[in-house]
Amino acid sequence: MLYREAGQFKTTYAEDMAIFPISQDRIALAVLLGIAFIGVPLLATFHIWPFGSDYLLWAILLPFLILALAAIGTNILVGYCGQISLGSGAFMAIGAYSAYKLATGVHIPLAWLGFAVSIPPLPVLASILLGGLIAAGVGILFGIPSLRIKGLYLAVATLAAQFFFDWAFLRIPWFTNYAPSGSVNAPALDFFGLIVQSPIERYLLCLLLLTLMALLAKNLVRSNLGRQWMAIRDMDIAAELIGIRPLYAKLTAFAVSSFIVGVAGALWAFVYLGSWEPLAFSIDRSLQLLFMVIIGGLGSIMGSFVGAAFILIVPIMLNLIPTELGVPLSTETITHFEFIIFGSLICYLLIKEPHGFARLISIGKEKLRLWPFPY
Amino acid sequence: MRVRDTNEILLQVEGVALSFGGVRALKDVSFNVRKGEIRAIIGPNGAGKTSMLNVVNGFYHPDRGTITFKGRTRDRMQPFEAARGGIARTFQNVALFKGMSALDNIMAGRTLKVRRGLLWQALRCGPALREELEHRHRVEEIIDFLEIEAIRKVPVGRLPYGLQKRVELGRALAMEPDLLLLDEPMAGMNLEEKEDMSRFIVDVNNQYGTTIALIEHDMAVVMDLSDRVAVLDHGVKIADGTPDEVKNNHAVIEAYLGVAH
Ligand SMILES: Nc1ncnc2c1ncn2[C@@H]1O[C@H](COP(=O)(O)OP(=O)(O)OP(=O)(O)O)[C@@H](O)[C@H]1O
Ligand SMILES: [Mg+2]
């Protein structure tokens, strides 16, 4: 009887169009945001449990925030627009390396033309956002084949993009500013004089960006553009006949998705890793993001969060629980178990519930709305 | 305000031929649709009716012949150009966006009327929100008109067939088309659903002055609704005229009864 919309009559369409039309959901979200923005920083500052050490922030919360952002980006392309992509890792890399180049100053010697293009180092925030924009541009370029090829074939094309960029960032020394080891260091995280350094500062930076971008993404998917994406996903022929241009719908999905994934890549490199190698954005990352989206829920912003949390927490639980029980598992066994769990879960979800955990949650809510009277 | 008595031609199809490999679906078909009328296209299975509609809205490109719509003649058209020109349609086998709610399906029909771009939609404030609300109001009128208020939030994949057909009509109406093509809008419906659908079609024609071209197998419905009927058989137009004229036409009777020539 607690979760109920009874008595909450929406008198205008504007109210009906709110993100969370049911007030219990709004309260839950407010509480969650309160905990994330105020509770966690307070606990962390005073080192109160579970923030006694920085483990929770570093090992769980920070990667969760950044990968949830990348999962939202992936979900826009795969879940909303129906264009399967195995190249999300590459677009994270493009965001990361573009931001790195912009933050350290770009110098392109065009010797044969007799001059060189030089851009002085840009501020970190500008670099990160421009890195996202460059990823969006490359995304549009790699989205063009999607007008001709579909499904599995498109997936293979995006896989090619993944391998191409893996190679480019590994082999073209210009991208890494000729670092002999191929590994590069992020610039100091200076935001208008505010230096982001401690784990909790990093956490707040990512939380802020994630919240903003999740809101913008949610707005997009419930506006006309989002409906165009879903229309293309569900039936492209009918979409065209109501005046949707597949070119525009698909390329905007590639652009928006790559922008978000690119920003997430820049954050992953600058804020989480600090120094990194091309391996940080390999095909493994692409697959991980795809798993998050499938498990969390295709075509659901909330699902992107759930999926990211699940994929990050399972390995930790696999480590923790057997240790607590006195039968610690080896790292290898844990990796095997991970694959078994994710693999079978994905098979199950793809067959039974393509909308993932997000759909299961909303089914649960529907039941709860009726509870305790099952009709 | 019905304008069916004007003789203004909205759509003129001239000498259209279309074949798929060896199958000649349309052989030199000409016919027109007058502004404001309800025009029926009938014919036995495989006569080429659906192919005809597909040519009109640019889904198939004819091998020969021209299409003149609102005074502009072309020999081919892209589907989205047809949509922009004011042609909407529904399909013989419902072609809705299965994963979206009834409301979102109909809202998607407003795409061509949306003015605000990506950035505004992402911000969803000020003019963008106002625009979204205006479209919502327009769509709610259509939902009321089609009496589908109760199912607006239901994913269309879960709706029974009759309601899906209604939602699909709603999506086409949301485009505020000048010409509405309906491919067997009553196929697979029971009597009551057919009556509802007939009423919607007549009301659309009356209230909005929308010109309608429809394919239908149910003769009673065709004779009731339409101003003029064209009859196709094996890709050839064998008769064209008022329902009464067509009903008594020998070629038509033979085509339907399958009498050998
Ligand atoms: N895409 C296609 N590829 C090949 N043949 C096709 C195609 N579309 C239609 N045809 C053929 O063209 C002919 C006309 O088909 P069409 O669908 O236009 O008939 P119809 O009058 O709508 O029939 P029905 O009443 O069964 O809907 C048929 O012989 C059909 O097999
Ligand atoms: Mg047909």
Any B CB within 8 A of A243 CB: yes
Q: How far is CA A196 from CA A46, A192, A193, B189, in A?
A: 18, 10, 9, 65
pLDDT, position A245: 94
Cα–Cα distance for residue pair A201/A14, rounded to 1 Å: 36
User: With bands split at pLDDT 50, 70 and 90, how would you rate the model's confidence at B50?
Assistant: very high
Q: What is the pLDDT of residue A181?
A: 86
Q: What 3-state DSSP class applies to A161?
A: helix
The answer to whether B18 and B55 are in contact (CB under 8 A) is: yes
Is B99 in Cβ contact with A240 (below 8 Å)? Answer: no
What was the pLDDT predicted at A17?
84
Q: Give the residue, A208 or A277, on which the prediction is more confident.
A: A208
Asked which of A230-244, A356-370, B105-119 is least confident by mean pLDDT, the reply is A356-370
pLDDT digits (tens, 9 = 90+) for A112-125: 777 888 889 999 99
Confidence of residue A323 (pLDDT cuts 50, 70, 90): confident
Parallel, antiparallel, or unpaired: how do β-strands B236-241 and B228-233 relate?
antiparallel
Q: How far apart are CA A50 and CA B123, in angstroms?
A: 36
pLDDT of residue B4: 53
Residue A374 has pLDDT above 80, yes or no: no
- Model pLDDT, residue A1: 45
Residue B101 has pLDDT above 60, yes or no: yes
* % pLDDT > 90, chain A: 63
Banded pLDDT at A150 (limits 50, 70, 90): confident
List of domains in chain B: 1-86+177-261 (3.40.50.300), 96-176 (no CATH)
Higher pLDDT residue, A3 or B198? B198
Give the whole-angstrom CA distance, residue B117 versus residue A219: 12
Classify residue A188 by its DSSP letter. P
Nearest to B124 among A219, A233, A244 (CB): A219
Looking at residue B238, its amino acid is I
Q: Ligand 1: does its nearest atom lie under 6 Å from the Cβ of B92?
A: yes
Dist CA B142 CA B173 (whole Å): 7
Mutational pocket test of ligand 1: of B41, B49, B57, the residue with most ligand atoms within 8 Å of the beta carbon = B49
The model scores a pTM over 0.90: yes
Look at residue A23 in the predicted model and tell me its pLDDT.
83
Higher pLDDT among residues B86 and A360, named by residue: B86
* Atom 29, ligand 1: residue with shortest CA distance: B46
Residue A107 forms contact with B (CB below 8 Å): no
Residue A242 CA, chain-centre distance (Å), reads: 31
What digits encode the pLDDT tens for the residues A176-195? 999 888 899 999 999 988 99
Q: For residue A372, what pLDDT band results from cuts at 50, 70 and 90?
A: low
Average pLDDT in the A79-88 region? Answer: 94
Question: Most confidently modeled of A23-37, A250-264, A342-356, B209-223?
Answer: A250-264
| Separation of CA B202 and ligand 2 centre (Å) | 22
Please state the rounded mean pLDDT for residues A94-98: 97
Rounded mean pLDDT, B91-102? 94
| pLDDT above 50: residue A197 | yes
Beta-bridged to residue B239, according to DSSP, are B231
Measured between alpha carbons, how far is B27 from B15 in angstroms, rounded to an integer? 8
Looking from the CA of A286 toward its CB, the CA atoms found within 13 Å total 25
Average pLDDT over residues B14-41: 94
Pairing relationship of beta strands B211-215 and A194-195 according to DSSP bridges? unpaired
Cis peptide before A120 (omega within 30 of 0): no
* Confidence band for A301, pLDDT divided at 50, 70 and 90: very high
| Per-residue pLDDT, A348 | 87
Instruction: Give the residue, A50 or B170, on which the prediction is more confident.
Output: B170
Roughly how many angstroms between the first and final C-alpha of chain A, as a whole number? 13
- What local confidence, expressed as pLDDT, does residue B1 receive? 45
B95 Cα–ligand 1 center, Å: 17
pLDDT digits (tens, 9 = 90+) for B180-214: 999 999 988 889 999 999 999 999 999 999 999 99
Q: For the domain made up of A55-370, give the CATH fold.
A: ABC transporter involved in vitamin B12 uptake, BtuC (1.10.3470)
For residue B208, count other CB atoms closer than 10 A to its CB.
Answer: 15
B177, pLDDT greater than 60: yes
pLDDT band at A2 (very low <50, low <70, confident <90, very high): low
Flag whether pLDDT at B20 surpasses 50. Answer: yes
Residue A330: is its pLDDT beyond 50? yes
Cα B48 from Cα B234, distance rounded (Å): 7
* HEC letters along A27-96: HHHHHHHHHHHHHHHHHHHCCCCCCCCCHHHHHHHHHHHHHHHHHHHHHHHHHHCCCCCCCHHHHHHHHH
Among the partner residues A17, A225, A242, nearest to B118 by beta-carbon distance: A225
**Structure confidence at residue A329 as a pLDDT band (50, 70, 90):** confident
Q: How many CB atoms lie within 10 A of CB A371?
A: 12
The top-scoring range by mean pLDDT among A43-52, A197-206, B1-10 is A197-206
Nearest CA to ligand 1 atom 28: B46
pLDDT tens per residue, range B230-250: 999 999 999 999 999 988 888
Query: Taking the CB of residue B120, how many other CB atoms lie within 10 A of it?
Result: 20
- Rounded to whole angstroms, the Cα distance separating B74 from A333 reads 67
CA distance B261 to B257: 11
